[in-house]
Chains A and B, each alone.
Chain A
Amino acid sequence: MDLPAGSISAILGPNGAGKSTLVHILLGILKPSSGEVTISGKNIQHYTRRELSRLIAFVPQSEYTAFEFSVLEYVLMGRAPHIGMLQMPTHDDLVHTLEHLEMLGLSNLVHRSVLELSGGERQLVLIARALAQEPEMLLLDEPTTHLDLSNKGRILSTLSNLAERGVTVVYTTHDPDSAAMIAQFLVLMKEGRVLSSGTTQSVLSAELLTETYGVPVRVVQVDGQPVVLLENHGG
């Protein structure tokens, strides 16, 4: 499968479909048992850890930390790929970090402890940290799963804006609607296999989704956007 640069791709599938494993392979944490992952034609295993961290930034679904870092300290860690092992962040790193915080509307949270943030704020802070890496691609694991409707909308529109600025966005989700809303490309997964991949319009069909999720669904168009509905069993 190919994930086109500069666009938004969603990896869609039910729980246990192998999305997280795929994310770990894309990050280079796991080695694929067969096949290879290439970025700009070069196998990711041939990039150094530092090179890779400047290409792909990862936003975990949630992140536990035992320490009360401030939002600023936390997002500043995203500069790590640009800071040597024995070096400290410079004033430039600080400026970059503040710019990304401002871009995501987080300037008022700079001194807040990361342990005191709401779910949506926390997700945005994780995205800000990933952006501070200045990557070419943003890889997000279930970015909207635990969020309410307004925060879900906020995250998805943030991802759209980022893609418009030229960042390649790839995210996993088990929710077809989250995928349909912003993704131009879709990878459909089930039981560790890719069932289908291509443009969202071509992949998001009732037959493929029924096969993937094992329940009958219908795909309807609302204002030109596909919406997935469960078929009514009871009648």
Chain B
Amino acid sequence: MDQHIDLALVSRKRTRRWVILLTGLLLVFTISIFVGRYPQPYLMPPRLLGQDELARQLVLALRLPRILAALMMGASLAAAGNVLQMVFRNPLVGPGILGVSQGAGFGAALAILTFSTIPLAVELSALLFASLGLVLSYLIARQLRYGGWVLRLILSGIAVSALFAAGIGLLKYLSDPLTQLPEITFWLLGGLWSVTWREVLLMLPFVTIGLIIVYLMRWRLNLLSLSEETAFSLGSRMGRERALLLMGAVAAIAAVTAVGGVIGWVGLIIPHVARRLFGASAQLTVPATILMGAVFVIFCDTLARSLRPGEIPLGIITSLLGALIFILLMITVGARWKP
């Protein structure tokens, strides 16, 4: 059958894209280790690692955990964004819905205001309130008596996000303008400047479990993006499958947001680019978003810490590049990839 030749060609093209993606990740990861502002701006000669104790310490204790955190953050936000878009059958939703991001922001601001001296207080409080945001969205959605399940969840997510956003406003108003307010603001803009191995270890279990669930269930995700009656007639146990996938996605989002703050655009834009390259099936887009998200955030974070003597908040750079890519995607809509 001639389709077999055809399919082989498609899979060959896709294999080439996987190789490019994996090489890209390795390359960005490696280069990022040597980019920074020591001993001079931009590039550290690799041989310095063998000679300079300070350079070695810098790489092992600061740059490496930070790059790993960026990798986890990008992979989590992008893969979770893909899950949310397909479960909610809406390519325009992102991790910002369901109250998770705003909940994390509120939790962090509250911790900065009340017990900022306790180690990990900000991260744990952000994690707690991110989960609370999701639980609240879910409970309110169950109380709504109109619309389908998806619409109810989105509506209650918007309401819960607004509630937390108002809370953040109040906390900012109450905070000390010289010490606490800048910290809250900087945290809300998002960044990985404070990451050490401790934060990496805090994120790791949530991100790993979340992404493993999403990865294993990736083909089922396709079914959930169809109408409810179709998914039902295809034998999908939607309630259970949806809950598992959302739990995985939210665990990953909550953990990376707790450490790195609210980072916009990654979860929205990367799934779109992945679909352009690999088609709509989540069987391919889930691993693609994991790799592409990691590359994107490592790249952005490297810029964030090396462009200027001071740190540029990561959220600003991801938003800037993300919005530019979004515009590019929209105006090149005719240039879509065809197998």
Residue B275 contacts which of A56, A68, A89, A102 (CB distance < 8 angstroms)? A68
Which B residue's beta carbon lies closest to that of A87? B219
Indicate whether A66 sits within 8 Å of B89 (C-beta atoms), given known contacts A29-B229, A60-B229, A77-B222: yes
The CA-CA distance from A139 to B233 in the complex, in Å, is 10
**Chain A interface size range:** 35 or more
Alpha-carbon gap, A58 to B1, bound state (A): 28
**CB-defined contacts of B338 to chain A, threshold 8 Å:** 111
Q: Which residues of A contact B1 (CB under 8 A)?
A: 98, 102, 107
Contact flags A141-174 to B (C-beta < 8 A → 1, else 0): 0000000000000000000000000000000000
Nearest CB of A to B138, in Å: 22
Min CB distance B81 to A, Å, is 14
Residues of B within 8 A of A68 (CB): 275, 279-280
Distance A89 CA – B38 CA, assembled complex (angstroms): 50
User: Cβ of B279: which chain A residues have Cβ within 8 Å of it?
Assistant: 68-70, 73
B222 touches A49 (CB 8 A): no
Q: Does B234 contact A (CB under 8 A)?
A: yes
Taken together as a complex, chains A and B put the C-alpha atoms of A60 and B229 apart, in Å, by 8
Q: Are B275 and A27 in contact (CB under 8 A)?
A: no
Query: From residue 1 to 20 of chain B, which have CB atoms closer than 8 A to chain A?
Result: 1, 3, 6-7, 10
B residues 87-110 in Cβ contact with A at 8 Å: 89-91
A133–B217 CA distance with the chains assembled, in angstroms: 20
Give the interface segment out of A10-18, A78-86, A178-186, A223-231: A78-86
Contact present for A86 and B216 (CB under 8 Å):
yes
CB atoms of A54 and B235 under 8 A apart: yes
Collect the chain B residues with CB atoms within 8 Å of residue A54's CB: 235
The answer to whether A24 touches B233, judged by C-beta atoms less than 8 angstroms apart, is no
Within the complex, the shortest CB–CB distance from B288 to chain A, in Å, comes to: 14
Flag if A53 contacts B235 (CB, 8 Å): yes
Residue B225, interface by CB 8 Å = yes
Partner of A98, one of B3, B10, B227: B3
Whether B223 pairs with A77 at a CB distance below 8 angstroms is: yes
Known: A63-B227, A69-B279, A77-B223. A49 touches B86 (CB 8 A): no
Asked if A193 CB lies within 8 Å of chain B CBs, one says no
Q: How does the 8 Å CB contact mask read for A87-127 relative to B, with 1 for contact and 0 for none? A: 11100001000100010000100110000000000000000
Residues of B within 8 A of A (CB): 1, 3, 6-7, 10, 86, 89-91, 216-217, 219-220, 222-223, 225-227, 229-230, 232-237, 241, 275, 279-281, 283, 338-339
The 6 lowest CB-CB distance pairs between A and B, nearest first, are A53-B235, A58-B233, A67-B280, A80-B234, A81-B235, A73-B281
List residues of A whose CB falls within 8 A of some B CB: 24, 27-29, 49-50, 52-54, 56-58, 60, 63-70, 73, 77-78, 80-81, 83, 85-89, 94, 98, 102, 107, 110-111, 133, 139
Known A-B contacts: A24-B229, A52-B235, A69-B280. Give 4 more (CB < 8 A): A27-B229, A60-B227, A81-B234, A111-B10
